[in-house]
Structure 1
Amino acid sequence: MIELDGAVGEGGGQILRSALTLSMITGQAFCIKNIRAGRKKPGLLRQHLVAVQAATQISGATVTGAELGSQTLVFAPKAIKGGDYQFAIGSAGSCTLVLQTVMLALLHADGPSTVRISGGTHNPMAPPAQFLQRAYIPLLRKMGADIDIELLRSGFYPAGGGCIVATIAPCPQLQQLTLMERGERVEGYAEGIVAGLPASIALRELECVGLGMNWTGDQLRMRGLPGEQGPGNALLITLEYEHATEVFCAFGEKMVRAETVAKDAMHEARRYIASQAAVGEHLADQLMLPMALAGGGSFTADVLSQHAITNAEIIGRFLPVAITLEEGEQRSTCTVRATA
């Protein structure tokens, strides 16, 4: 039984999600205490509970402590089974974070899988569906995974109501990936998304991005969604390079100006551009785990967050790998190598 403390590092839900994924794949049971101790509302919220329930169903696990508000969980998996799965968060909790909990595990299933998740697809503190589609999944495909994600309906905080569907084929051994350079820019564009809100909000965001990034025409794209999918607003900035694509996102909120939303997204995009790194902060958090499962790999990132450092520690508890994080003046480097 691996014992974990959910209060270490950034003290958020990523510790639990990574532990669930690694436990299913390695077959090692774990006990985690102080779940999300670093958050204002500690313990399991809806999206974390659904992640546990999804992992339990997929792996036939024996679980104790799987209830709302629980700060202690014991998880003992069995074999990972492919199949058709449906999970409903019942709030604006993140569909993408639940999917990421089970996605890599289902590569080790006994057959193909389809996973349908309803809840939030665009909310703060979680990657939007387009981030998975454009940035994360293409890199998994380079490692040999056959995964596809479709956004059926957008769901914004606080209403939720969104839906994504993923299809996953078995791939028990990922290939190692070296991603030190991003290559030449292929395309860059911004999308102003509104649902149940005035189009002028997105247009102001796009105008601000146009001035700030010196973009015009087709680089500034208005996306109006049906009103019943809102109310909600998101601004996405997508930067496609030869070897990697990054997606930066900011969300509209009450009493926050559209120009402020645009500047928040541009801040992250500009930091990434200036760094010359292969990936941004959030993609760096998520690449470590598949690289560890592949037995090695490396990448450069504009920022290595406390989130990433914590994730590296959790991975090392389950897998025989060493993860080295080196911070440089403009960009940082992560190297994953097998130790056994």
Structure 2
Amino acid sequence: MLSIDGSMGEGGGQLLRSSLALSLLTSTPFQMTKIRAGRARPGLMRQHLAAVHAATEIGRAHTEGAAMGSTELTFHPNGIRAGNYNFAIGGAGSTTLVFQTILLPLLLGGTEPSNLTFEGGTHNPMAPPFDFLEKTFLPVLVKMTSGARVEIRLERHGFYPAGGGLWTATVHPATEHSRLELVHRGEVRARHATALVAQIAPAVALRELDTLSNLLGWDRNACKPTMVRHSHGPGNALLATIESDNVVEVITGFGERGVRAETVAEGVAREVARYLAADVPVGEHLADQLLLPMALGAGGTFRTVKPSLHCLTQIELVKLFLGTAITTTEEAPDAWRIDVPSK
């Protein structure tokens, strides 16, 4: 059984979710201790438990320690099972993070399609929004495989703290792996932004879009508000999209009580400016999400901004499970090359 220190690297929920995915795909049982030890509220929270339960269900696994607040977990997988699943996270727990926990096992380790339904948060701080999955992550993921197809459909937005989002996914497994080469972004074809607002003043969206377009010099006509209907609670997300020849990058900021709309837009503008200035195809958040499918498949190379602690932690975890030595090379102050050997 593999022993994992849950406080290593970034020491958060990503370490647990990635461990669950790797365990399912390698049939490796593990014991994790010190789960989220450095967080203000250590141990398993609701959305982490949701990921454990989802992995347990599709992997017919035996677990010990799967309880609220637990700082230790033992996970014994017993084979990946495709099927029809409904995962209700409860509250505004991130459904996209639970999806990413089980996606690779179903996509790379399954033999039959699976149909998934998720209820909970769809646009959460500290988690990829639905739009990022749809436009950025999944198109690149599918490039790494033959036969794979992932179709997702948003039925209802779910913002923090009310949640209540609803969406579905159909996962058709891969038949072969392809090496990923994503070193050039190519020409930027389009730049646009959307400000989602639910049960709050439309003026918030307009102020965000005015600020963003002014700071970046984007066409204001390409920056539009979207009034979200049928939301279970108030919410706001500002999404900036950069469409290039080889990749689409979605950068998101979330409105919070007491935070000015202009401040939200300024944060998104800084991240967009950084990404464009680095002249790399892969943004900060996509980088750590590509490592697992590459290492489990045919490997490859991509260029990105300076690797985050999340990315470096993923690298260490991949080495622990697979023995794969992923290398990072600095090419410029904020442009790095990451090389992933095939398994």
Whether the aligned pair in 1 keeps the contact of 2:210 and 2:220 (CA below 8 Å) is no
Whether the aligned pair in 1 keeps the contact of 2:295 and 2:318 (CA below 8 Å) is yes
Q: How far off is 1:305 after superposition?
A: 0.4
Q: Where in structure 2 are the equivalents of 1:1-340 lying within 5 Å?
A: 1-107=1-107, 108-144=109-145, 145-171=148-174, 173-226=176-229, 228-327=231-330, 328-338=332-342
Counterpart residue identity of residue 112, structure 2: G
Whether the aligned pair in 1 keeps the contact of 2:194 and 2:238 (CA below 8 Å) is yes
For structure 2, the 5+ residue unaligned runs are none
Whether the aligned pair in 1 keeps the contact of 2:92 and 2:160 (CA below 8 Å) is yes
Runs of 4+ in 1 over 4 A off after TM superposition: none
Partners of 1:172 and 1:182 in 2: how far apart? 27
Partners of 1:198 and 1:227 in 2: how far apart? 15
Partners of 1:206 and 1:326 in 2: how far apart? 36
Number of residues paired by the alignment? 339
Partners of 1:30 and 1:71 in 2: how far apart? 14
Partners of 2:163 and 2:336 in 1: how far apart? 36
Whether the aligned pair in 2 keeps the contact of 1:47 and 1:94 (CA below 8 Å) is yes
Cα-to-partner distance string for 1:155-209 (whole Å, 9 max, x where unaligned): 1111111122111011154211011111001111010110000100001101111
Partners of 1:228 and 1:189 in 2: how far apart? 24
Change (3 A) 1:130 1:323: same
Percent identity, aligned pairs only?
47
Counterpart residue identity of residue 296, structure 1: G
Q: How far off is 1:84 after superposition?
A: 0.6
Partners of 1:228 and 1:164 in 2: how far apart? 13
Partners of 1:59 and 1:203 in 2: how far apart? 46
Q: How far off is 1:227 after superposition?
A: 5.3
Partners of 1:147 and 1:39 in 2: how far apart? 34
Partners of 2:231 and 2:93 in 1: how far apart? 18
Whether the aligned pair in 2 keeps the contact of 1:174 and 1:290 (CA below 8 Å) is no
Q: How far off is 1:262 after superposition?
A: 0.4
SS of the residue corresponding to residue 87 of structure 2 reads strand
SS of the residue corresponding to residue 152 of structure 2 reads strand
Counterpart residue identity of residue 305, structure 2: D
Whether the aligned pair in 1 keeps the contact of 2:157 and 2:231 (CA below 8 Å) is no
Partners of 2:176 and 2:62 in 1: how far apart? 26
Partners of 2:78 and 2:279 in 1: how far apart? 43
TM-score by length of 1: 0.97
